[in-house]
Amino acid sequence: MPNGAGSDAKSWWALVLAGGDGVRLRPLTRRIAGDERPKQFCRILGQATVLEQTVTRAEIMIPADHIVVAVVRAHERFYAPLLADIAPRCMVIQPENRGSAPAILYALLRLLTMAPAGPVAIFPSDHHVSDDHVFMAHVEGAFDHVVSRPELAIVLGIAPDTDEVEYGWIEPGEIIRGPSPWALFRVRSFSEKPPRAVADTLRAGGCLWNSFVIAAYPSMLVSLIRLAIPRLVDAFAPVESRLSTPWEDDSVRRLYSGLPPADFSKDVLTPRAANLAVLPVTGVVWNDLGEPRRVMATLARIGMSPAWAAASA
């Protein structure tokens, strides 16, 4: 595994996104947990929740006190016991779920109040990874590239290994030369959940799944959002001066009450592909646990059969 010589791991940060409602997986998670908790707070694979597995994965490379988690207030009874050791400054609690773009922007703005010297990696909290150490070695490679190319946001791309087509797709462009041994390519285009015929063509053409794991400097990501959705950044302007103060909660609550939803992949990554690069991930089986059939396929693949799986058959 690379040793991170190109950048200082002590300056790295992680942002874990845990504010989704998990509606598509709700019939299964209701059976698993017996209540309405979203999937990231469920023990879908093994004894730890998917959120806990994500945080543990990030901690392989990133200091525990540099892990920021974005959640939604309505889920407090589910996340509070799981995140009891997270420092209050690293908890970004949204009043409501307004999609991934506001969640990421809010967390980045909070992160910037902590004056981080290094880059941040964004991790969704609903993924399965077959080998955490191999996967995080790729994140380390992305960090090394970001240090030498701070104008880029780097997405980890997954080589398709099943006929699943309902992911975002990345079309790699020309290779980006640099000091890092990790392969890096410009992003020619993004396709967010295209029709099957299009997805089949993309797969045949060597395109990659969008893992939504992204490494970049926080200020670069904020600039990217400003270019793609300027109204969203403008809406947060009154909140910025109140971040990490006693007035933050009230200010954010007023903001979210009238904030339209926005999706980071569709509304930011897709139109700003020219600002992005992709680092292909190899040696890892990856899956987004967004639908029951993906969960069952993952369980079959890893040879796991928890009690709830037998009850769901």
Q: What is the mean pLDDT of residues 227-251?
A: 95
Instruction: Work out the angle at residue 185's Cα, subtended by the Cα atoms of residues 269 and 111, and round it to the nearest 5 degrees.
Output: 45
In a domain, 139, yes or no: yes
pLDDT at residue 306 is higher than 80: no
Q: Name the residue among 298, 278, 53, 43 with its Cα closest to residue 164.
A: 298
- The total of other beta-carbon atoms located within 10 Å of residue 252's CB is 24
pLDDT at residue 3 is higher than 90: no
Residues 6+ positions from 217 with CB-CB distance below 8 Å: 118, 119, 120, 146, 150
Domain count, the chain: 1
pLDDT digit string, tens, across residues 138-153: 999 999 999 999 999 9
Q: Do residues 100 and 232 make contact, with C-beta atoms less than 8 angstroms apart?
A: no
For the full predicted model, state whether its pTM sits above 0.75: yes
The model's confidence at residue 312, banded by pLDDT at 50, 70 and 90, is low
Q: Do residues 103 and 19 make contact, with C-beta atoms less than 8 angstroms apart?
A: yes
16 strand-pairing partners: 69, 123
Residue, of 8 and 219, whose pLDDT is higher: 219
Q: In 114-229, where does DSSP find H-type helix?
A: 132-148, 196-204, 218-228
Q: Across all residues in the chain, what is the average pLDDT?
A: 92
Q: Name the residue among 104, 135, 12, 136 with its Cα closest to residue 67.
A: 12
pLDDT at residue 135 is higher than 80: yes
In a domain, 290, yes or no: yes
pLDDT at residue 90 is higher than 50: yes
The CATH number of the domain holding residue 260 is 3.90.550.10
Q: What is the pLDDT of residue 193?
A: 84
Q: What is the pLDDT of residue 132?
A: 97
pLDDT at residue 309 is higher than 80: no
208 strand-pairing partners: 170
d(CA 157, CA 200): 17
In a domain, 5, yes or no: no
State what percent of residues in the chain have pLDDT above 70: 96
Q: What is the pLDDT of residue 6?
A: 45
Q: What is the mean pLDDT of residues 220-231?
A: 97
Q: What is the pLDDT of residue 311?
A: 56
In a domain, 104, yes or no: yes
Q: What is the pLDDT of residue 310?
A: 63
In a domain, 3, yes or no: no
Q: What SS3 state is found at 44?
A: coil
Q: Do residues 265 and 153 make contact, with C-beta atoms less than 8 angstroms apart?
A: no
Burial class of residue 206 (count of CB atoms within 10 Å of its CB; 0-12, 13-18, 19+): exposed
The model's confidence at residue 113, banded by pLDDT at 50, 70 and 90, is very high
112: domain range?
10-312
Q: Do residues 23 and 159 make contact, with C-beta atoms less than 8 angstroms apart?
A: no
Which of 53-67, 243-257, 296-310 bottoms out in mean pLDDT, i.e. has the lowest? 296-310
pLDDT digit string, tens, across residues 279-289: 999 999 999 99
Give the number of C-alpha atoms closer than 13 A to the C-alpha of residue 300, restricted to the C-beta side. Answer: 7
Q: What is the pLDDT of residue 2?
A: 37
